[in-house]
Amino acid sequence: LAAPRVLRPMADDLDQLKAEENACTRCPLYENATQAVPGEGPRDADLMVVGEQPGDQEDLAGRPFVGPAGQMFDRIAREAGIERDRAFVTNAVKHFKFTPKGKRRIHQNPNTSEIKACRFWVKSEIELIRPKLILSMGGTAAESLTGSRKGILSRRGSIEATEGGVPVFLTVHPSYLLRLPDPALREDETEKFRADLKSAQAHL
Ligand code: URA
């Protein structure tokens, strides 16, 4: 008697999705990164937060937003009434892209083909979590979620698109604030970011 055919299940839980993301070869970024950094957070989160890609610390830890940009996000989100632990936090690109410089690894922006390749995983996460709102932070997340590369500063603060039926609220990336050299400008931009997060929270 032939054994019954067992179909390989679809990624129906986060652990399986994590394993599948770690086996991904859809673009070359897996070659140099330590590991894929999958999204993390509650399975029933109302809010999904999408950043750019793991940085140096995230690549080593295997967790999103644990470095300086993540700490900045956690603080301002808390001030805006968003608890990071209740959100599903992820990135548009799952592997760290960098060039080595001595002992350091210098962040490189992902390009359009890498962003497109990784959309598969972002969409899988959205299908699994089914959030009420997606908070898209920075140009890479905006490109992944809306398909448009238009500058984020002129688009921030509103819902511009839907992904899988879920509204996408656009804002800047917290590392943009960290890079601003002028303290007064940084303070202004931090206030605008906080206001964006409050406005996103009001849509939940
Ligand atoms: N920046 C991101 O976009 N994502 C991270 O996980 C860390 C830094």
What are the extents of the domains in the chain? 14-202
Task: Give residue-wise pLDDT tens across range 88-116.
Answer: 999 999 999 999 999 999 999 999 999 99
* Rounded Cα distance, 120 and 118, in Å: 5
Averaged confidence pLDDT in the chain: 95
pLDDT at 6: 52
130: left (phi over 0), alpha (psi -120 to 50) or beta: left
CB 35 near ligand 1, within 6 Å:
no
Give the Å distance between the CA of 96 and the centre of ligand 1: 9
pLDDT at 50 over 90: yes
Q: Which of 107, 123, 13 is nearest to 58 (CA)?
A: 107
For helices 14-22 and 112-129, what crossing angle results, to 10°? 160
Give the Å distance between the CA of 2 and the centre of ligand 1: 49
Please report which confidence band the pLDDT of residue 8 belongs to, taking 50, 70 and 90 as the band edges. Answer: very low
Fold of 14-202: Uracil-DNA Glycosylase, subunit E (3.40.470)
* ipTM score: 0.93
Task: Give residue-wise pLDDT tens across range 121-169.
Answer: 999 999 999 999 999 999 999 999 999 999 999 999 999 999 999 999 9
Bridge partners, 99 (sequence order): 106
DSSP string, 41-52: S-TT-SEEEEES
CB 70 near ligand 1, within 6 Å:
yes
Give the Å distance between the CA of 55 and the centre of ligand 1: 6
